[in-house]
Chain A
Amino acid sequence: MDGFLVRFDSVFTEGANRAARAFGEEARETPGVTEILPALASVQVRFDREVCARPDIAEVLEDLIASRDWLALPEEPATRIWHVPVSFDGADGVGLGRACEQTGLSQEQAVQQILDARPRVIAIGFAPGQPYLGLLPMEWDFPRQTELTKEVPPGALTVAIRQLVLFANPSPTGWLQIARTAFRPFQPEAEDPMPLRAGDMFRFHRISLSEREALTREGGSAGGRLEVLS
C-alpha cells in the first residue's frame, strides 16, 4: 500500500534494466519517497503515506514516465569498477565442464570470455549485497539447471541466462558454478556492509585455487578492490 512498481518490460532486457535504474534515481528526488528498489526490468518506488497520498505519488510517477523515452537511454559509462580475483581451478570451477558443454566453448575460451567480460551489476538481491551481473556473450544464453545444486560455497561465481551471480552465502541453486572468488558481497561487520551498487562494473582477474584459498582465509576486503572513476 506504500509502493508502486514501474515495469519497463516483463522479461530482462538491457534497455529495460537501464530504464529501471535511471527512473529510480529520478524518482528518488520526489518528496515523500522513502526507498527505491531497482530489479531486473522494473523498479519499486516506496513512499511514506504519512507524508504524501497515493494518488499524488501516482501522478508524479506518471508524469515522470511520460517525460522521456526511458527505453532509449544510452548506456551510462561505469563510474565504479570492482577488480575481483577469481579461481577457475579444481573444485572452485566444479561446473566449468558443464558450462563448456552448454556454450560449445573450450575451457580456455570460456575462461577467457569471463576474463574479457565487463559485466555490470544489473540487480542486487536474493541475499544482501548479492549481485546479478550481465550480460555475457550470446553463447552463455542457457537456462538455469533444473536439478538444484545442493549447496554452492560463499564466493561461488555462477552462470545461466547470460548472467553471473556471485553468491554471498552457502545456498542451494539452479545456477552453475564455474569459478570462485574470495569476494564477500555482504560484510556485516564493515562500515558499508553491502558495498555493491546497481550499475557497478566488474573485472575478473585469474588466480590459482591456493591463492584464492589464501584470500578467503584472509577475509576482509582482499577479495576485491574498488576503482572509482571520476
Chain B
Amino acid sequence: MSAHLRIETAGPGLTVQDLGRPGLGAQGLSRGGALDRLALFEAAALLRSPEVLAGIEMPGMGGSFTVDAPMRLALTGAPMRATLNGRPLAWHAAHPVQPGDMLKIGPVESGTTGYLTPAGGIATRPVLASRATHLAVRIGSLLEAGTELPVGEDPAPARPPCLIRAEARFDGGVIRVLAGPQTDLFSEAQRAAFAAASFTRGTRSNRQAMQLLTEDHADWHLDAGGLASEPIQAGDLQITGDGTPFMLLAECQTIGGYPRIGSVHPADMARMAQAGNGAVLRFRFTDWDRAEEAWTPESEMIRALAGKVSPLVRDPADIPDLLSYQLVSGVTAGRELD
C-alpha cells in the first residue's frame, strides 16, 4: 500500500510540479515545471534525496494537509506561515509528520511561491516523463480539497528535522540581463531607459509570464511590425504592444512575435519568480564574460546545497509548552557527597 498526502483544504493555485518537460519545444510544448526550481533543489537537499522530487507548488496561499503514513515533509521557497497541530513550524526546513497530524500552511510572508515536498516525492502518473501540471496546455489541473496524492516511500521517515540556509531571493533587487537575438532592435536610448527604470510585479502574472509595472517613463516601446515569430523561452523579457514588459515563465508559449529586449540570467530566475507585492526589481545588462562566471550547472547547485543543511535546533522561546518538559534529570539537596 502506498502512502498518501491528503489535501484537506487548498489555496487557489496549488499544483504538482517537478522540473518539467525539457526538449519538446519543437513540438510546441514549453518545459513548464516549478517556477522556482531552486526551491525543489533545496527540498531535495533537506530530504537527502538523490533525485529532485515532485512537490506541491503553492502560489500566495497554502492549505492544510494530512498523511496516512509517517514521512518527512520539506517546506521551501517563499516563507509561509506553517503550523503542525497548531504549533509553529520553521520554514526552509524538513519535518517528520505522523498520521493524525495536521499541517496548516497559510499565506506567504515574503516572496510569491512556497513548496511542500514529501520525502518520497509525489508519485502521480507521469505524462511525457514528468508529473508537472502545465495549466496553459491542460496537462493536469489545480489541486482541490479532498485530493489524495500518492507519495513514494520515505526511506527515513523518522530522521529529525533539519534546516537549510536558503538563498535570499524574496525581496526583488538587481537582476542581470543578457542581450539576446533581438536586443539590437532596441536603440541604445531604449535599452538605457529600461535599465534605469524600477519595476514591480503586476497583477496580470501567472505561470506563463510575469507582468512588470513601472512608474518611470516607459521609453522602450518597439513596433514588432512584420517580424516573423521566433523561438522564445522562460526568462525572455518581451515588450508587448502597449510597451508593458513581461518576463516569460515556465509555461510560456514556444514561439512568439513580441520583441525581446533581453533575457534574465538563469542565476536570477528564482529571484524574479519570487519578487512579490512591492518588491522592487531593476535590470542591469551584463556582458558574456561576467554572465559565464555567474553560471553554475544545476547539477552542481544541487550538490552544493547539501552543505547548507544543518540539524534544526529548537529555540526554547518557540516551545509553548516548555514547562511540561523535564529539563533537569534530578535535584538533590547537594549533601550526598558530604
Contact = CB atoms under 8 A, between A and B. Distances in A.
Q: Do A and B come from one complex?
A: yes
Interface of A: 1, 3, 5, 7, 9-12, 16, 34-44, 49-50, 54, 123-130, 168-169, 185-186, 188, 193-194, 196, 198
B231 A42 contact: yes
A49 B231 contact: no
Contacts, number: 105
A50 B303 CA distance: 15
B297 A49 contact: yes
A35 B22 contact: yes
Given A49-B295, A129-B27, A129-B28, A44 B227 contact: no
B181 A35 contact: no
A121 to B, nearest CB: 11
Contacts of A43: 231
B137 to A, nearest CB: 5
Classify the interface of chain A: helix, strand, loop or mixed. Answer: loop
Interface residues of B, number: 35
B297 A123 contact: no
Contacts of B271: none
Contacts of A16: 228
Most interface-central of A1, A11, A123 (chain B CB within 10 A): A1
Contact of A39 (B137, B178, B229): B229
A172 to B, nearest CB: 13
14 contacts: A1-B295, A5-B231, A7-B230, A35-B25, A36-B26, A37-B26, A39-B230, A40-B228, A124-B27, A128-B28, A168-B28, A185-B28, A194-B24, A198-B26
Nearest to A193: B128
A168 B254 CA distance: 14
A70 B78 CA distance: 49
B338 interface: no
Interface string B134-146: 0011110000000
Contacts of A193: 127-128
A40 B229 contact: yes
B255 A126 contact: yes
Contacts of A41: 228, 230
B128 to A, nearest CB: 6
A16 B297 CA distance: 34
Contact of A9 (B127, B138, B228): B228
B276 to A, nearest CB: 26
Given A9-B228, A12-B228, A50-B297, A1 B178 contact: yes
